[in-house]
Structure 1
Amino acid sequence: MTLERDGSMKQVAMKTPRKLERRAFAGLAASLALAAAACSTNPYTGEQQFAAYDDAQLSQASAQAWQQLKSQTPTLSSGAQYQRVQRVWSRIAAASPKAGEQWDVSVFNSEEVNAFVMPGNRVGVYTGLLNLVENDDQLAAVLGHEVAHSIYRHANQRATRAAAASTAVQLGAAAAGSSNVGIGADQVNALGSVAANLGVVLPYSRNAELEADLAGVDYMVRARYDPRAAIRLWEVMQQNNSQRTADFLSTHPNPEVRQQRIREYIQQKGY
């Protein structure tokens, strides 16, 4: 109710949280429509995936970051550690659906315990990781995991999900900005970004990690490495890194969860 100049009371329509919810649902519907248009077929697995980007475009987009990393971090081009990575990698790559493709595999001379894959068949392995793994079988588990990320187009899927989440947040913020509810667009944008990150992007990343773990075990077996080394790998990783971010805020699953999933998968497949 509002007070008119003549002293009478007039009822006016006010935007309520329920109306804001309707606007938010409209934004969600729009983002779902975008999601339906973003499905494509994985050329390696034949699966329908939520991947909107052209793989060649992602490769081109990552090329600059790859070159920058190589220019800023010392790399090895010879020696025992370099040869070790190339030897294990050649067997894993040949046992994967990407057998015969060209790869750029770099060994970074850094104490960082890490390995990664980038769009465009680019793989990086740090000497810190090489010093941690106990044998070539564990290194094969790492490299099988990384090539699986590439085969399952996880970078593409994650980028697509992040873009869809961002679109939903922007639509919600626009709806809030046009309402008279005491929640500003900036607040909705900030809260929505957190919710999207926790609810969409990070859980997907954890699922992708588990998917890569299991596919990597398949490639290990085909390359004649011991799949049980994948279980031991995460025991070693857990011992090396006792301080972990809370699971629900981490892109990676708990090492104990990974060990159990890999153990069950090996038993299921009869490896």
Structure 2
Amino acid sequence: MSKRVPHVPTTVLALALGVVVACTTVPLTGRTQIMLMPESTEQEMGVTAFRQALTKSKVSTDPALNAQLTRVGARIAAATGRTDYQWEFKVFEDKQVNAFCLPGGKVVVYTGILPVTRDDAGLAAVVGHEVAHAIARHGGERVSQ
């Protein structure tokens, strides 16, 4: 009886080729990242997570807050050039000092961060930071690791 020994060089070559194929470059920064997930799948996951968040959280009914976020967010969204994203902006009633942007352009800002942002410029800094995570596909990169 002869035992088959795995062909190590072939396995290593296949893995190396897989890593090279999965490498992408982040727009604007030029940083290389490993991305095993197609962007369409990433965006679908973002839509699903957003729907879940909408059912679990209280969306603000304050017209002034919603108008401010929509106004600021729309300008940032336009600057990204990502017309394939379905941009949505929501304010959640929550004391958390936080915000997030899901793949595909679903942006949430918690009311707890609004006293810190103070005005449109401060809100733009927060929203721009969160949108940058989505544009750079950090969510898909995290899943790929």
TM-score normalised according to structure 2 size: 0.77
How many Å apart are 1:97 and its aligned residue? 3.0
Cross-structure match for 1:150: 134
Unaligned runs of at least 5 residues, structure 2: 1-8
How many Å apart are 1:135 and its aligned residue? 2.2
Unaligned runs of at least 5 residues, structure 1: 1-25, 162-271
Aligned 8 A contact 2:37 2:144 in 1: yes
Aligned 8 A contact 1:58 1:119 in 2: yes
Q: Helix, strand or coil: the match of 1:112?
A: coil
Percent of pairs with identical residues: 35
Cross-structure match for 1:89: 73
Considering Cα pairs closer than 8 Å and 6+ residues apart, tell me whether 1 or 2 has the greater RCO: 2
CA RMSD of aligned residues (A): 2.7
Aligned 8 A contact 2:86 2:104 in 1: no
Q: Helix, strand or coil: the match of 1:95?
A: helix
Aligned 8 A contact 1:81 1:130 in 2: no
Distance 1:100 1:50, change over 3 A: closer
Distance 1:46 1:64, change over 3 A: same
Moved over 6 A (4+): none
Larger helix percent: 1
Task: Count residues with an aligned counterpart.
Answer: 133
**Deviations 1:25-72 (CA, angstroms, capped at 9, x unpaired):** x9xx58952422311355x54955421211111122233322111111
Cross-structure match for 1:175: none
How many Å apart are 1:74 and its aligned residue? 0.5
Cross-structure match for 1:68: 52
Cross-structure match for 1:8: none
Query: For 2:101 and 2:14, how far apart are their aligned partners in 1?
Result: 29
